[in-house]
Structure 1
Amino acid sequence: MKNILLTGGAGFIGRWVAKRLLDDGNSVWILDDLSNGQEANLTEFMSNPRLKQFIHGDIKDESLLEQLFSLTRFDICYHLGASINVQDSIDDPRTTFYNDTIGTFFLMEQCRKHHVKVVFMSTCMVYDRCTDETGITEQHPIKPASPYAGAKIAAENMVLSYYHAYGLPVVVIRPFNTYGPFQKTGGEGGVVAIFIHNKLAGKDLNIYGEGTQTRDLLYVEDCAHFVVEAGYSDQVDGHIVNAGLGRDISVNDLALLIVGDPSKIKHVEHIHPQSEIQKLLGNSAKAKQLLGWEPQVSLEEGIRLTEEWIKANLLSEKAVK
């Protein structure tokens, strides 16, 4: 039963992390500027007495952070708040750098002053392409192919420096491509959610480039379990830890798995080919060893669960109209 600060808790993954933390009996404060998240994602938790406060605010607001940390003795800060869109980071690198790197620094300073453990959400997009079937371990070469990846790498190093310089308990986590219910189905959403939405809407599934690029797709509840456990355990303090399904699939094969009709699949010009990672396959052996974590939901089951949720969401949207 801990006091938890969760940044980005109104976002897609953040919403599931909030659910897990609340289900575990923790007291949770959520800070989100709603640039990516939606307060509606938290509707089912608003009557939960363990959700102490939702703060609509910015991690770059130092006075707000000082007030939050002075009012509550937090045990853990799960830092998920970030600019997350690769294309946006290419078009506007300043916003991504300020949110993901400078914002993280401001938060780290408060956690240092109040000795609060930090779980920093990074991304698999910091890695160079996978070269073999054993998958990408934490020792794999990194490659900042986009300002988003560059900002995350900078923030990772800042976070880890607080472990080495101050003895602050921190862990950097790198989940692979996460999908599932509550993910956006439009331009900022993930490939699974967008493909399923287009299928249900009778639209074509558009693939950037040749579609031979592969992704390791992690179901969101498995991801949330991993994120939460990284905060509970001191075995990962000072570490970088991956989480993935351990299976990759080409975007072409993913589209066919979802829609089942090759005629509904179209290839379009890639909008950011320079930041594409051709093969992403995660190796989560370290997470299993240190946290006892393994994914529980197969890709096929995760797609089924996600489609059920999106279908219900589409029906409710039509009912409102």
Structure 2
Amino acid sequence: MNVLLTGGAGFIGRWVAKRLLEDGHDVWILDNLSNGSRNNIAEFAGDNHLKAFAEGDIKDTKLLEDIFQQPFDICYHLAASINVQDSIDDPAATFHNDAVGTFNILEQCRKHHTKMVFMSTCMVYDKANASSGKAIDEHHPTKPASPYAGAKIAGENMVLSYWYAYNLPTTVIRPFNTYGPFQKSSGEGGVVAIFIKRDLENQTLNIYGDGTQTRDLLYVEDCARFVVQTGYSDKANGHIINAGTGRDISVNDLAAIICPDKKRIKHVPHIHPQSEIQKLLCDYTKAKKLLDWQPEITLEKGIERTRQWIKKQM
């Protein structure tokens, strides 16, 4: 197939590109490099199936019109502002990237009848009931506790409206906290990478708040396989689908696995406690049923692979 991948030079996008190229599809990548890097996709430069890389923005409607002159079978739309704190500091930028930019892509997909897979986030969910132990499925209540989550929900609703209004094949995917090689080890969103890097440098691991908040950590190659398989499946059209491992771990326990030296683990005040989700535990039953997908890499194996990759970068 001919595939357009937005955000393809980013952390997850890079692994999605790899999977698509391995499957023999012709791939065009669009990325403004605000989160991504050309280095992430440098190894694909000699692949004949990587047809083009365009450095550009999904808010540029003229650029999108030009790109869509090439007929695409599927658009995997991963390009987004992804930082919660940035969205709190500058909500307009996040809204225009994640909601308006998504609308721009949707309009091109509608005009050219291109299937669209929209990358949303588990951050749209309200917290799970910690005492019940019940995992979050797609019917779980949403709560936009940050402008990032609010913009993603807006994007989701537009994407699904095109399925109902225009019969455009679209799917919304909500991967849980993804980690692995090529994730940035500074800033926000990469707690596993940040902890590993700081441990390797013999530095203190800083935990926001009391560290009892839990995360369902999905290894990036499992995530990329999920993203790609969603696009391949007609059964996924019109659906919202989660991906995770069905196992959550507290940030305290995660830090202890990565850094056995308790003296180097410190709790610090949370930078945005109002947007924290206390418990994230994924129910991926729907992905298993519709896509025959399930995670393959354990947390322990994923952490070790990530550690080895970060070591090589140092």
TM-score (norm 1): 0.97
Structure 2 CA distance for aligned equivalents of residues 238 and 5 of structure 1: 20
Structure 1 CA distance for aligned equivalents of residues 245 and 133 of structure 2: 13
Match of 2:230 in 1: 230
Q: Which letter does structure 2 place at the counterpart of 1:43?
A: A
Match of 2:34 in 1: 35
Deviation, 1:261, is 1.4
How big is each residue's C-alpha offset from its partner over 1:115-134, in whole Å with a ceiling of 9 and x where there is no partner?
A: 00000000000000011323
Match of 1:179 in 2: 179
Match of 1:127 in 2: 125
Match of 1:317 in 2: none
Match of 1:287 in 2: 287
Superposition pairs of residues 262-273 of structure 1, within 5 angstroms: 262-273=262-273
Match of 2:165 in 1: 165
- SS at 1:282's partner residue? coil
% identical equivalent positions: 69
- SS at 1:293's partner residue? coil
How big is each residue's C-alpha offset from its partner over 1:210-239, in whole Å with a ceiling of 9 and x where there is no partner?
A: 000000000000000000000000001000
Q: Which letter does structure 2 place at the counterpart of 1:22?
A: L
Q: Which letter does structure 1 place at the counterpart of 2:85?
A: Q
How big is each residue's C-alpha offset from its partner over 1:246-282, in whole Å with a ceiling of 9 and x where there is no partner?
A: 1000000000010111111000010000000000000
Match of 1:219 in 2: 219
Deviation, 1:188, is 3.6
Match of 1:13 in 2: 12
Superposition pairs of residues 41-60 of structure 1, within 5 angstroms: 41-60=40-59
- SS at 1:186's partner residue? coil
Match of 1:297 in 2: 297
Match of 2:23 in 1: 24
Deviation, 1:114, is 0.1
- Equivalent of 2:115 in 117, 128, 132: 117
Unmatched runs of 5 consecutive residues or more in structure 2:
none
Match of 1:77 in 2: 75
Structure 2 CA distance for aligned equivalents of residues 62 and 270 of structure 1: 38
- SS at 1:139's partner residue? coil
Q: Does residue 307 of structure 1 match 2:295?
A: no
Match of 2:62 in 1: 63
TM-score (norm 2): 0.99
Q: Which letter does structure 1 place at the counterpart of 2:54?
A: I
Distance change in 2, residues 1:127/1:189 (3 Å)? closer
- SS at 1:235's partner residue? helix
Q: Which letter does structure 1 place at the counterpart of 2:142?
A: I
Structure 1 CA distance for aligned equivalents of residues 98 and 238 of structure 2: 20
Unmatched runs of 5 consecutive residues or more in structure 1:
315-321
- SS at 1:77's partner residue? strand
Structure 1 CA distance for aligned equivalents of residues 103 and 242 of structure 2: 22
Q: Which letter does structure 1 place at the counterpart of 2:227?
A: V
Structure 2 CA distance for aligned equivalents of residues 261 and 188 of structure 1: 23
Structure 2 CA distance for aligned equivalents of residues 89 and 68 of structure 1: 28
How big is each residue's C-alpha offset from its partner over 1:123-162, in whole Å with a ceiling of 9 and x where there is no partner?
A: 0000000113230000000000000000000000000000
Structure 2 CA distance for aligned equivalents of residues 110 and 12 of structure 1: 25
- SS at 2:79's partner residue? coil
Match of 1:87 in 2: 85
- SS at 1:49's partner residue? coil
Structure 2 CA distance for aligned equivalents of residues 144 and 80 of structure 1: 19
Deviation, 1:189, is 4.5
Structure 2 CA distance for aligned equivalents of residues 189 and 258 of structure 1: 17
Structure 1 CA distance for aligned equivalents of residues 308 and 100 of structure 2: 39
